[in-house]
Amino acid sequence: MKANQAQDGAERWQLDFIQRVGRIGYWEFDSMERAISLPGPSLDLLISIIGVSLDARRSFMDLLCDSERRRFLSALDQAIAGRLALNIELQLVGSGSQRPYIAVRGAHIGMEQGPARFAGTFRDITNEKDRDAAHEKVITQLQALLDALPQGVSVIDKDLYLILWNRRFHEVLGFPQDMVFRHARFEDFIRLNALRGDYGPGDPEEQVQAIVARAREFLPHRFERQLTGGRTVQVEGFPFISGGEISGFVTTYTDVTGQKRSEEELTRQRDVLKTVIDNFPGGISLCDADLRFTTYNAQFMELLDFPPSLFEKGWVHIEELARFNVNRGEYGAGDPDEQVQAIVARARDFRAHRMERARPDGRWLEIRGTPIASGGFVTSYIDITERKQAENALAESEERWKFALEGANDGVWDWNYQTGKVLYSKRWKEMFGFTEAEIGSSKSEWLSRVHPEDLTEVIGIIEQHLSSETLPPSVEYRFRCKDGSWKWTLGRDMVVSRDSEGKPLRLVGTSSDISERKQMEEQVRQLAFYDPLTGLPNRRLLNDRLSQAMSASKRSALYGAVMILDLDNFKPLNDRHGHLVGDLLLIEAAARLNACLRETDTVARFGGDEFVVMLSDLNPDKAESTAQAGIIAEKVRTRLSEPYLLAIKRDGKPDATIEHRCSTSIGVALFVGNEASQGDVLKWADAAMYQAKDGGRNSIRFYDSKV
C-alpha cells in the first residue's frame, strides 16, 4: 500500500514538473458532469495563457465562446463514443482584444477499477498561430505581387515540386488549370509539353528525362522557345539559396510573340526600304534629326564623288560633309567657315526644296529635299547632265537644236507662239504612246491632256515666263497618254525668240518621264508614314497630325479627342487560323473604321490589333464634345462588333470563308489646345481603354482629365 502511494506521489511530482517546466497542461473529463477538471499547476498555466485570474465559479468551459464550446464538446463526444484520439485547436476568451489559442489532445485512460476515463493535455500555440498568420499574410502579398506581373512565374523546390506560381504561368504556357497545384511535379509539366510537340520530333519520354536531368543541375539559363501554337516564349531561370545551399529554382516566362513579330516586320520594312534605296534611279540620302547622314546608296557616293573614308564610321555629320565640299571648292568662292555655318543653319531649319546644281567636274544634278516629320530629311540626286547639255545645245544654235530634237532621250517640243502650232520630237511621241499623226499640233490639244489638278500651276508658270525675262522654268505635272493612263513628266521651256517689243515668238522645251522616280518617292513616303498592311497612317504620321490638330485647337478653342481601340477577340483568331487570317481581319477592321469617320478625322494603326482615332474640330463646350465623341465611338464599337467574313485564298483562288466575331474596347481622351502634351493625351486614352477591357470589354470609357 505504501509502495503504491509512493509510486503515485512520484508520478504526480513528474506530472507537476511537466506542467510547470514544459508548459503543458493536464485535464480530465467528467462524462457525468460534462465538465473539465484541471490540477493546480495546469490551472496556473491556463491563467498565464489567458492573462486573467479565474475565480472559483469559472471553469475551463467558461473560457470558450459558444461556438468553440459546441465544437469542442462535439469532438469530445465523437472521440469518447468511437474510442478515438482527440486532436483540436481552440480559441480562448482572453483579456481585452487578446484571443489566445491552445492545442488540445486527448485519449481514453484505462483503469484497473471503475469506468474508463478520458483525459488529455493542452499547450499554448498563440505564438505559432501568430507566426502562421504573418506567414500567410506574406504569402498572400507575394501571390498578389506575382499575379500582377505580366510574365508567368513558377517556383520549384529542390525536389522539383511546384511550390509557388502566378496566374500567368499557366496562361502563357497553356497548361490546364487543374494541372497547376501545390506540389505538382515539374516532370508532369515537361511531359505534357513533350506529348504536344513543344520540343520538336523525338521520343517524348527521352525528352522528359533529359530536361529533368538538366533541371536537377539548377544552372541559370535564358532562351526562347517556340510553342506549338506559334507563340514565342522567353524563358529565364535562376536558382535561389537558403541556408547556404540551393533550395529551388525561380523561372519567368515572357510571351514575346508580339515583340518577335514586330522585329520581323521591322526587318522586312528595312529590307524593303533598302531595296527601294538601292534601286532608286539616282542618288538618295537620309539625314536624321541629329543632322547625321546615316543612310545612302552607292549612286549618292558616286554622283557627289565622296571618298569611302569620309563615311568610315557608317555615318557623317552634315558639318563634316559641308566642310569637305567647301574645301574642294564645291560651292565656289567665299569664306569657308561662313559657308559651312550657313549650310548647317539651313539644315537645322530644313524646308522642302528643289534645285539644279552644277558640280565642279561639269556634272549637273537635280537635287530635291523633303523634311521628315520626326526630324531630318530625305534628299534625292538625279544626274541631269545629258538633259542640261541638250538644253544648252538648243539655246546655242538651230543646228544643235535639230540634233537635240531627234537625239535627246527626253521628249522635245517646239511651240510657235504666233500660230499656236506645236511640233513634237519622235521621242516625245513615243514617250506618251503616240505615232506621228495621232496627236494634234494645237496648244489646246496639249492643254487638254494635262491633269486637271496640275493645269493651273502649269499655265501660271508658262505665262510668268512669257511675260518676263526669268530663268527657264520647270514644272512637274501629269500628262494623259494615248491609252488614257497618266504619266508624270518634268517639263522645261525656254523663249528662244521675241519680237522688237519683247513679245515671245517661239518657245522650245523638253519633257522628261519621271514616273519611276515619282513612284519611288511615293514608296519611300508610304514606308515612312503608312502601315504596309492596312494602308493606314502609322505612329509617326499620327503624331504629326495630332501636333497639327492641337495647334489648330489652340487657335480655334475647339476640343479634339483621341480614341485608342483594341480588338477584344483577336488573339484566338490568330492562334487558331494563323497570322494571314488575322491580317485579313485587321484589313477589314481598318476599312470599317475609315467608313465610320469624318473626312477631317484620322485613323492610324499603332501595331498589332491596336488602332488610334483622332477627332478634331468638335465643339468649344467640353460636355458637347464628349457627347459628339461618344456618338462616334459607339458607331465604331457597333460597326466593329458585326461579324467578319474572312475569305481565304489559295493560289489566288477562294479556298474557304471564316466567320469571326470580334468586339472592341475603346478608350477616349479629350484635349483642347496645348494644355496637355501629345504623350499625355495618348496615355490618357490608353488608360481609359484598359478600363474598358477590365470592365468586361466591348465597351467605351472616357478618361476623366482636368482639361
Say which CATH number the domain at 671 has: 3.30.70.270
43-50's contacts with Cβ under 8 Å and 24+ in sequence apart are 44/20, 45/19, 45/20, 45/124, 46/122, 49/92, 49/94, 49/100, 49/102, 49/124, 49/126, 50/92, 50/93, 50/94, 50/95, 50/100
Question: pLDDT band at residue 70, thresholds of 50, 70 and 90?
Answer: very high
Interhelix angle for 515-529 vs 539-556, to 10°?
80
278 against 334, higher pLDDT: 334
Strands 644-650 vs 602-607: parallel, antiparallel or unpaired:
unpaired
Whether the predicted pLDDT of 291 surpasses 90: no
Residue 390 domain-assigned (yes or no): yes
Q: What is the DSSP string of 98-111?
A: ---EEEEEEEEE--
Residue 132 domain-assigned (yes or no): no
Whether the predicted pLDDT of 393 surpasses 70: no
Round to whole Å and give the CA distance between 656 and 654: 6
Round to whole Å and give the CA distance between 367 and 349: 17
Round to whole Å and give the CA distance between 585 and 611: 13
Among the candidates 341, 366, 383, a domain finishes at 383
Question: Looking at the structure, do residues 68 and 169 belong to the same domain, yes or no?
Answer: no
Length of the chain: 707
Mean pLDDT of the 333-345 span: 86
- Residue pLDDT, tens place only, 43-66: 888 888 887 766 644 678 888 888
Question: Looking at the structure, do residues 548 and 673 belong to the same domain, yes or no?
Answer: yes
Closest of 101, 122, 92, 113 to residue 28, by C-alpha: 122
Residue type, 376: G
Q: Using alpha carbons only, what angle is made at residue 576 by residues 571 and 578, rounded to the nearest 5 degrees?
A: 80
Question: Looking at the structure, do residues 299 and 347 belong to the same domain, yes or no?
Answer: yes
Question: Looking at the structure, do residues 688 and 552 belong to the same domain, yes or no?
Answer: yes
Task: Tell me what pLDDT residue 56 has.
Answer: 47
Round to whole Å and give the CA distance between 679 and 681: 6
Closest of 444, 415, 412, 442 to residue 428, by C-alpha: 412
Question: Looking at the structure, do residues 271 and 362 belong to the same domain, yes or no?
Answer: yes
Question: Looking at the structure, do residues 683 and 560 belong to the same domain, yes or no?
Answer: yes
Among the candidates 383, 411, 442, a domain finishes at 383
Round to whole Å and give the CA distance between 263 and 271: 12
Residue 136 domain-assigned (yes or no): no
555 against 133, higher pLDDT: 555
Question: Looking at the structure, do residues 358 and 457 belong to the same domain, yes or no?
Answer: no
Task: Tell me what pLDDT residue 200 has.
Answer: 86
Residue 138 domain-assigned (yes or no): no
Mean pLDDT of the 325-344 span: 85
Cell of 483: 491609252
Considering the entire predicted model, what is its pTM? 0.35
Highest mean pLDDT among 279-283, 517-521, 621-625: 621-625
Task: Please state the separation of Cα 217 from the chain's center in Å.
Answer: 37
Round to whole Å and give the CA distance between 432 and 166: 69
Neighbouring C-alpha atoms within 13 Å toward the C-beta of 545: 22
Q: What is the DSSP string of 12-59?
A: HHHHHHHHHHS-EEEEEEETTTTEEE--HHHHHHHHHHHTS---TT--
Q: Using alpha carbons only, what angle is made at residue 274 by residues 270 and 275, rounded to the nearest 5 degrees?
A: 120
Cell of 252: 519567368
Residue 525 domain-assigned (yes or no): no
Q: What percent of the chain has pLDDT over 70?
A: 83
Mean pLDDT of the 332-350 span: 85
Question: pLDDT band at residue 458, thresholds of 50, 70 and 90?
Answer: confident
Among the candidates 479, 498, 520, a domain finishes at 520
- Residue pLDDT, tens place only, 574-619: 888 888 888 998 999 999 999 998 888 999 998 788 999 999 999 9
Number of domains into which the chain is organized: 5
Question: Looking at the structure, do residues 491 and 358 belong to the same domain, yes or no?
Answer: no
Residue 30 is part of which domain span? Answer: 2-126
Whether the predicted pLDDT of 417 surpasses 80: no
Task: Tell me what pLDDT residue 397 has.
Answer: 52
Task: Tell me what pLDDT residue 691 has.
Answer: 94
Task: Tell me what pLDDT residue 106 has.
Answer: 92
Mean pLDDT of the 297-318 span: 86
Q: What percent of the chain has pLDDT over 90?
A: 21
Q: What is the DSSP string of 453-470?
A: HHHHHHHHHHHHHHTS-P
Scan for cell 560633309, then name that residue: 321
Instruction: Say if CB 665 and CB 697 are below 8 A apart.
Output: yes
- Residue pLDDT, tens place only, 200-211: 899 999 999 999
From residue 498, give the alpha-carbon distance in Å to each of 472, 502, 550. Answer: 14, 5, 53
Instruction: Say if CB 100 and CB 124 are below 8 A apart.
Output: yes
Say which CATH number the domain at 478 has: 3.30.450.20
Cβ contacts of 381 within 8 Å, gap of 6 or more: 282, 283, 284, 285, 299, 300, 303, 304, 365, 366, 367
Instruction: Say if CB 676 and CB 683 are below 8 A apart.
Output: no
Residue 520's φ and ψ, nearest 5 degrees, are -65, -40
Question: Looking at the structure, do residues 485 and 550 belong to the same domain, yes or no?
Answer: no
Question: Looking at the structure, do residues 547 and 671 belong to the same domain, yes or no?
Answer: yes
Question: Looking at the structure, do residues 153 and 275 belong to the same domain, yes or no?
Answer: no
Question: Looking at the structure, do residues 363 and 405 belong to the same domain, yes or no?
Answer: no
Closest of 619, 632, 630 to residue 556, by C-alpha: 619
322 against 420, higher pLDDT: 322
Question: pLDDT band at residue 142, thresholds of 50, 70 and 90?
Answer: low
Question: pLDDT band at residue 457, thresholds of 50, 70 and 90?
Answer: confident
Whether the predicted pLDDT of 562 surpasses 90: yes
- Residue pLDDT, tens place only, 430-447: 788 787 677 767 777 778
Least-confidence region, from 170-184, 270-284, 623-637: 270-284
Mean pLDDT of the 388-411 span: 60
Mean pLDDT of the 635-643 span: 93
Average pLDDT, the chain: 82
Q: What is the edge-to-edge ordering of all strands in the sheet holding 504-513?
A: 422-424, 411-416, 504-513, 486-498, 474-480
Whether the predicted pLDDT of 398 surpasses 60: no
Scan for cell 514616273, then name that residue: 515
Highest mean pLDDT among 27-41, 134-148, 473-487, 599-613: 599-613
